[in-house]
Amino acid sequence: MTTFWDIVHLLTGTPLIPVAIMGLTWGILGGALPGISASITMALVLPFTYTMDPAMAIALLACVYIGAEYGGSIPAILIRTPGTNSSAATVIDGYELNRQGRAGEALGISLMSGVVGSLFGLAMLVLLTEPLSWLALAFTPPSYFGLGILGLSVIASMTGGSLVKGLAAAVIGLMIATVGTDPISGVTRFTFDVPDLLNGVEPVLVMVGLFALTELMSQSGSVSLTQLKESVRIRLPGLAMMNRLKRSQIIGCILGLFEGLTPGGGGSIAAFMSYNEARRWSKTPEKFGKGSEEGVAAPEAANNTVASTALIPLLSFGIPSSNSTAVLLGGLLMHGLLPGPRLFEQNPQVIDSLYVGSFVAIIAQIGVGMLLLPAAVWLVNRPRPYRAGFIFALILSGIYTLNTSTFDLGIALALGVVGYLMRRTGFPFLPMILGVVLGHMVESSYRRSLVLSGGDMMVFLQDPICVGLLLAATGFVVFSLTRELRDGRRARAEQARNHKTHGQEAHG
């Protein structure tokens, strides 16, 4: 049980405050760069946490996540280009306010709504995570196998696009996870007599390669964006304005809570859902789309709430629900930390640092956000080749610091090419990354289950939790497949109808 004096010691006896501010600062700057999402911002700094104290490393990554969610609103409001995916809904009314000469006010509303959402999300994180983690004590090896399969099937079926491509990406990730040493027998597999592969392919290399390097390749052929206005200053909303915005902020917080808890959910879904619900319950729905303050407050409160509540299933069961939480899970595993009740019992300092560091970052977000706006504007206005060169150098130096290995550089670069090809062909990244991250848990749980049962496959049907999880996984896949087939039939029918209409017009 964390006491007041434990918190005081964290704040005074450790470098937690500078770590939190540093993570927040990097998150805001990274989130402000269009195309550099929160997950990419976290993946860029992940290699540099390898030599850090685990508690400080996890707190740093969480604070980067918090900062990136706010930073994405800066270009969304100023140049109609969301810095992160979850800021896409903010573009609708944020840019309209900018066109009306109220950019500073829109940025202030975004900042304060983000602080409100972050504080609510952190409160839910503190209250719900540990109690839920104790449910994991009832889990046996078959249950953990079912949990891993559920996580992979949910993510593969809810990433949009083709279910087959999502499942194929997950299988590729599982295949990469089998490289190295067998977790049960200790036999080496798929190493091709390369000593560097004895420990397998580290998840951090997969994340950096697929997220960061792929994004650089994709942006290399795109045109430059409109420049930001250098003279913009944030104007924080007064008490009267905050009172007017409370309904939309509450909607954003509630939907952000549910989306954060939902596997496959995320800030983007929560932001658009809260925008629609805020318009439904608004006293002035006609202003939405034309420069509504509520249209900025609701999605910003939602996506900042998700930044904290998405950590609940991650810390409780080890199942990430988004790209960003997958990167954080990679950070936990990189430091030998396993989510669940044992994390709370054996490494309480990690949890305390994450909670307190997040709180420090949220409170500091107001001052740091106002101070960093000119720096963010300057950074975004730099020519694209210079920005890309800086990020590329940061990626390579971070990867090299992991094991001082040029082989790791080759792996990351190769995965960047794989990611680029996957993006061009419509394959999602997250199922593949989760396959790598969860592959060890899925395989080791499967093998341990068979060892305990003497090779009897019925062990998976004799565990009620495993059965429930496997049925849920099957349900998600069937639902997604049914929806995909229905949408395909509807699209073909619409195409045939349009073709018939055009044919009649041509004949007439």
Residue range 404-449, pLDDT digits in tens: 788 888 888 899 899 889 888 888 887 888 788 778 878 888 888 8
The band of 161, judged by pLDDT with boundaries at 50, 70 and 90, is: low
Residue 506 confidence (pLDDT) above 60: no
Per-residue model confidence (pLDDT) at position 409: 87
Q: With 70 as the cut, is the pLDDT of residue 496 above it? A: yes
Q: 13: pLDDT confidence band, cut at 50, 70 and 90?
A: low
Least confident stretch, 65-79, 212-226, 240-254:
212-226
Residue 457 in contact with residue 464, Cβ under 8 Å? no
Whether the CB-CB separation of 426 and 309 falls below 8 Å is answered with no
* Among 1, 306, 4, 10, CA closest to 130: 1
What pLDDT is recorded for position 169?
87
Contact 318, 442 (CB under 8 A): no
Position 483 scores a pLDDT of 80
CA 67 from centre of chain: 13
Place 25 in a pLDDT band, splitting at 50, 70 and 90: very high
Query: Which region among 4-18, 315-329, 348-362 has the lowest average model confidence (pLDDT)?
Result: 4-18
User: What number is the average pLDDT over the span 378-402?
Assistant: 75
Q: Please answer whether residues 437 and 338 qualify as being in contact, where contact means their C-beta atoms are separated by less than 8 angstroms.
A: no
- In this predicted structure, the answer to whether residue 23 has a pLDDT above a threshold of 90 is yes
- pLDDT averaged over the chain? 82
pLDDT over 80 (residue 452)? yes
The answer to whether residues 46 and 26 touch, using CB atoms and an 8 Å cutoff, is no
Cα dist. 454→142, 143, 144, 406 in Å? 13, 17, 18, 43
Count the neighbouring beta carbons within 10 Å of the beta carbon of residue 242: 16
pLDDT at 181 over 70: yes
Residues 146, 470 contacting (CB under 8 angstroms)? yes
* pLDDT above 90: residue 263: no
Classify 291 in phi/psi space as left (phi over 0), alpha (psi -120 to 50) or beta. left
Provide the percentage of residues in the chain whose pLDDT is more than 90: 12
- What does the pLDDT look like over 47-104, one tens digit per residue? 888 888 999 999 999 999 999 888 888 888 887 767 777 777 888 888 888 888 888 8
Calculate mean pLDDT across residues 215-223.
69
Half-sphere exposure of 234 (CA within 13 A, CB side): 24
Report the range of poorest mean pLDDT among 273-287, 429-443, 494-508: 494-508
What integer pLDDT is reported at residue 248 of this predicted model? Answer: 92
Specify the pLDDT at position 136: 66
Task: Provide the pLDDT confidence category of residue 223 given band limits of 50, 70 and 90.
Answer: low
SS3 460: helix
H/E segment holding residue 467: helix 464-507
Quick one: which of 357, 253, 263 has its CA closest to 306?
A: 253
**Across 487-497, average pLDDT:** 78
Range of 102-111, 433-442, 484-493 with top mean pLDDT: 102-111
Average pLDDT over residues 247-259: 89
